[in-house]
């Protein structure tokens, strides 16, 4: 049976699905990539229409199954958007005099953190920051003697309503979830270098409706936030120049610039909108720059003050919004950080014949990272084809092929029960009842009547 991994990314306006396999040499082969417009079912990365979300998910799995020629038993899911955030938490345990910290004490502290009950949040992941034994901060406290142990944790949480809606949508679609990953963490593992994480950096994922900010220092995630602003806000601002959103998006992609030096502005330059109308280049520059500045300032505001001077790795940009012209210059101007890098592709060996994968244009970094994170075979067995025979209106024998994916009772799909497939009974050769035989007999009869009339 074929083996492959399947992942689905719930973006801020688009759902993407991917299928591929891990090779013995450590590389990954991407075999299928599909997407579905999710503007009618998700808003800023948060599910708000369960039925339409379920339909989108079904379509993605159906497309992937068709390409892979296999049913899909379960999928890995990456979530982000405005529902995801980080919450700091401190757990303290007083110890008897002269106690040496052991693994059980540390595990107990971690369990207490995991058991935190937030009113409207569900914990997806926990990043341990450091421990404090007495006045000493350490990464691993096991073996150290003390009377008080403090654990500092960064909980990656998701709104309970979104978590509930997400699971309901997958249940409604009949798709089993292998595991849910916080997409920003998985992305960071595959676009940031170890030196960037260690020295301190800010990863900025510029999406369509949201911008995700992840702050790293000493190889650990220190802060995660999602801003409800993205590339679509720039497009909507351009519509103020009296044009439709489709025209505004094309104008942004063709002529938009995140930052333009004053000396480079041509007051006489105009751009055509629809062949009849034009707008001044200066107007477009002012609109785009104003919104980009707002986004960058909000990004920078999310960096905790204690880490502003500890970002030796600089700022790393990724996501579709990072493809805007001069985006690096805009970040340099408004953050006063000189070290800006654009992560065009993941730090993985990827093999694929898919053109969009090989573009390396920053837009698929998250979905590829989710594929790399999965480690369970998602293939559910071959798609079953059944044939049936019958006759048409003219007495001709017809054969119909029907595809029947089978379910595993948990929302996924599986192959049919093993056993020999009975051979189809032979179809008898058509006699006088066949279409052409009937037609020939009718013509003969008609010819005979003509001859009788002439006599």
Using one digit for the tens of pLDDT, what is the confidence trace for 94-108?
998 889 999 999 999
- SS3 of residue 16 by DSSP: strand
DSSP notation for 377-390: --EEEEPEEEEEEE
- Distance between CA atoms of residues 34 and 377, nearest Å: 19
Is it the case that residue 381 has pLDDT exceeding 60? yes
- Match 């694929």 to its residue by tokens: 352
Using one digit for the tens of pLDDT, what is the confidence trace for 211-258?
999 999 999 999 999 999 999 999 999 999 889 999 999 999 999 999
Report the Cα–Cα distance between both ends of the chain, in Å, rounded.
74
Tell how far CA 263 is from the center of its chain. 40
- Match 């020939």 to its residue by tokens: 440
Instruction: Work out the mean pLDDT of the chain and round it to a whole number.
Output: 86
> 250: which residues sit within 8 A by CB, 6+ positions away?
none
Using one digit for the tens of pLDDT, what is the confidence trace for 139-191?
999 999 999 999 999 999 998 888 899 999 999 999 999 999 999 999 999 99
Mean pLDDT of 289-316: 97
Using one digit for the tens of pLDDT, what is the confidence trace for 325-365?
999 999 999 999 999 999 999 999 999 999 999 999 999 99
Is it the case that residue 395 has pLDDT exceeding 80? no
Taking Cα atoms as reference points, which of 99, 332, 308, 105 lies closest to residue 223? 308
- Of 451 and 373, the structure prediction assigns the larger pLDDT to 373
Is it the case that residue 400 has pLDDT exceeding 80? no
- What's the token pair of residue 262? 């004053």
- What's the token pair of residue 416? 């049919």
- Distance between CA atoms of residues 56 and 41, nearest Å: 8
pLDDT category at 81 given cuts 50, 70, 90 is confident
The DSSP bridge pattern shows strands 406-407 and 397-404 to be: unpaired
For residues 389-425, one letter each, b for 16 or more C-beta atoms within 10 angstroms of the residue's C-beta and e for the rest, the string is eeeeeeeeeeeeeeeebbebeebbbbbeeeeeeeeee
H-type alpha helices, 192-306: 194-199, 231-238, 245-255, 281-301
pLDDT category at 423 given cuts 50, 70, 90 is very low
Taking Cα atoms as reference points, which of 314, 370, 367, 366 lies closest to residue 342? 314
Q: What pLDDT was estimated at residue 31?
A: 97
Q: What pLDDT was estimated at residue 90?
A: 96
Q: What pLDDT was estimated at residue 40?
A: 85
Using one digit for the tens of pLDDT, what is the confidence trace for 4-62?
999 999 987 889 999 999 999 999 999 999 999 988 888 776 788 999 999 999 999 99
- Distance between CA atoms of residues 13 and 316, nearest Å: 22
CB-based contact 299:202 (threshold 8 Å): yes
- 288-291: which pairs have CB atoms within 8 A and are 24 or more residues apart? 288/234, 288/237, 288/238, 288/252, 288/256, 288/257, 288/258, 289/257, 289/258, 289/259, 289/260, 289/330, 290/237, 291/229, 291/233, 291/234, 291/237
pLDDT category at 434 given cuts 50, 70, 90 is very low
Is it the case that residue 135 has pLDDT exceeding 90? no
- What's the token pair of residue 290? 């104003």
Using one digit for the tens of pLDDT, what is the confidence trace for 191-206?
999 999 999 999 999 9
pLDDT category at 116 given cuts 50, 70, 90 is very high
Strands of the 5-10 sheet, one edge to the other: 177-182, 75-79, 5-10, 14-22, 28-37, 350-351
Q: How many residues are given for the chain? A: 455
Mean pLDDT of 74-93: 93
Is it the case that residue 421 has pLDDT exceeding 50? no
20: which strand partners?
5, 30
- Match 């062949």 to its residue by tokens: 275
H-type alpha helices, 75-182: 103-114, 160-173
Dihedral of CA 133/138/139/141: which sign?
negative
CB-based contact 285:196 (threshold 8 Å): no
Q: What pLDDT was estimated at residue 453?
A: 41
- Consecutive H or E run containing 182: strand 177-182
| Angle, in degrees to the nearest 10, between helices 281-301 and 245-255 | 80
pTM here is 0.83
Give the Cα-Cα-Cα angle 121, 124, 128 (nearest 5 degrees): 105
- Consecutive H or E run containing 437: helix 435-454
CB-based contact 102:113 (threshold 8 Å): no
CB-based contact 53:40 (threshold 8 Å): no
- Of 260 and 423, the structure prediction assigns the larger pLDDT to 260
Q: What pLDDT was estimated at residue 399?
A: 57
């Amino acid at each position: 049976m074929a083996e492959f991994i399947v992942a689905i990314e719930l973006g801020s306006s688009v759902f993407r699905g991917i299928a591929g396999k891990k090779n013995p040499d450590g590389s990954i082969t991407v075999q299928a990539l599909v997407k579905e417009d999710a503007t009618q079912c998700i808003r800023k990365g948060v599910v708000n229409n369960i039925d339409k979300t379920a339909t989108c998910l079904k379509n993605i799995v159906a497309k992937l199954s068709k390409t892979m020629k296999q049913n899909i038993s379960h999928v890995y899911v990456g979530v982000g958007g405005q529902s995801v955030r980080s919450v700091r938490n401190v757990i303290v345990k007083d110890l008897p005099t002269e106690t040496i910290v052991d693994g059980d004490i540390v595990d107990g502290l971690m369990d207490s953190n995991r058991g935190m009950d937030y009113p409207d949040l569900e914990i997806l992941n926990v990043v341990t920051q450091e421990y404090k034994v007495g006045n000493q901060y350490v990464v691993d406290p096991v073996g150290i003697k003390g009377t008080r142990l403090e654990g500092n944790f960064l909980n990656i949480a998701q709104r309970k309503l979104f978590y509930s809606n997400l699971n309901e949508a997958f249940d409604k679609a009949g798709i089993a979830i292998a595991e849910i990953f916080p997409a920003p963490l998985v992305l960071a593992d595959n676009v940031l270098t170890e030196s960037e994480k260690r020295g301190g950096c800010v990863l900025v994922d510029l999406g369509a409706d949201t911008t995700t900010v992840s702050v790293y220092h000493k190889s650990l995630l220190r802060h995660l936030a999602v801003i409800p602003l993205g590339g679509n806000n720039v497009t909507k601002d351009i519509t103020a120049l009296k044009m439709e959103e489709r025209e505004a998006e094309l104008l942004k992609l063709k002529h938009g610039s995140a930052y333009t030096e004053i000396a480079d502005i041509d007051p006489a330059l105009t751009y055509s909108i629809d062949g009849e109308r034009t707008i001044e280049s200066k107007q477009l520059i002012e609109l785009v720059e104003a919104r980009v500045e707002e986004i960058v300032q909000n990004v920078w505001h999310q960096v905790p003050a204690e880490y502003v001077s500890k970002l030796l790795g600089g700022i790393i940009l990724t996501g579709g919004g990072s493809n805007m012209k001069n985006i690096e210059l805009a970040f340099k101007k408004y953050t006063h950080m000189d070290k800006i890098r654009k992560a065009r592709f993941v730090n993985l060996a990827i093999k694929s014949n898919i053109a969009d994968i090989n573009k390396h244009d920053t837009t698929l970094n998250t979905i590829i990272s989710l594929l790399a994170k999965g480690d369970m075979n998602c293939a559910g067995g071959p798609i079953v084809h059944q044939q049936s025979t019958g006759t048409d209106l003219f007495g001709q024998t017809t054969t119909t092929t029907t595809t029947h994916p089978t379910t595993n009772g948990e929302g996924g799909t599986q192959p049919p029960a093993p056993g020999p497939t009975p051979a189809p009974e032979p179809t008898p050769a058509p006699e006088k009842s066949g279409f052409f035989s009937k037609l020939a007999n009718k013509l003969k009869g008609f010819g005979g009547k003509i001859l009788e009339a002439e006599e």
